[in-house]
Amino acid sequence: MIRICVFCGASAGQDPVYAEAAGALGRELAARSIEVVTGGGKVGLMGVVADAALEAGGRVIGIIPRFLVEREAAHRGLSELHVVETLHERKALMHELSDAFIALPGGFGTLDELTESVTWAQLGLHAKPIGLVNVAGYFDDLLAFVTAAAGEGFVSGSHGELLTARSDVQTLLDALLR
């Protein structure tokens, strides 16, 4: 069984296109019999991905720190919900349980989870694919940063290729799973 960890916002954002992409990702993962690993909340894009996957017959594993159980409203309808003590434990368990990572739009928490995954890949701690659902060009500035950092010698050429970005969920999954 393949598991993909989805990093995304505990908010839905301003543009409905973000929630549409989150729902499409959840449904497509379920359709491909891929289990979803999330941050365990029922709010924002996190909740949209989980609900879409569950409604399509998929399995969703949530991992949430105890102090966020109320703030992010822990999703009690998940296939599995792990309550951990710290954000570090959350990220470690997400990495342990997952075969790949996908980021949807989100804020600092999403960026933290994403960049840690990329850093660990850069350091050779894992070789799991990492993708971005670049809906409405949300990650264009991040991708430009990676290009600029590579141009300045802070990111090697091969490390700049650790991120796979597509605007379409199906195309992204095809690229990550080949």
pLDDT higher than 80, residue 10? yes
Residue for token pair 């971005």: 132
Model confidence over 115-139: pLDDT tens digits? 999 999 999 999 999 999 999 999 9
Q: Which range marks the domain in which residue 92 is found? A: 3-177
Say which CATH number the domain at 172 has: 3.40.50.450
Residue positions counted in the chain: 178
Give pTM, 2 decimals. 0.96
Report the C-alpha gap between 129 and 118 in whole angstroms: 9
pLDDT score, position 160: 77
Model confidence over 56-109: pLDDT tens digits? 999 999 999 999 997 768 999 999 999 999 999 999 999 999 999 999 999 999
Total domains in the chain come to: 1
Q: Which amino acid is at 174?
A: D
pLDDT score, position 67: 94
Model confidence over 41-65: pLDDT tens digits? 999 999 999 999 999 999 999 999 9
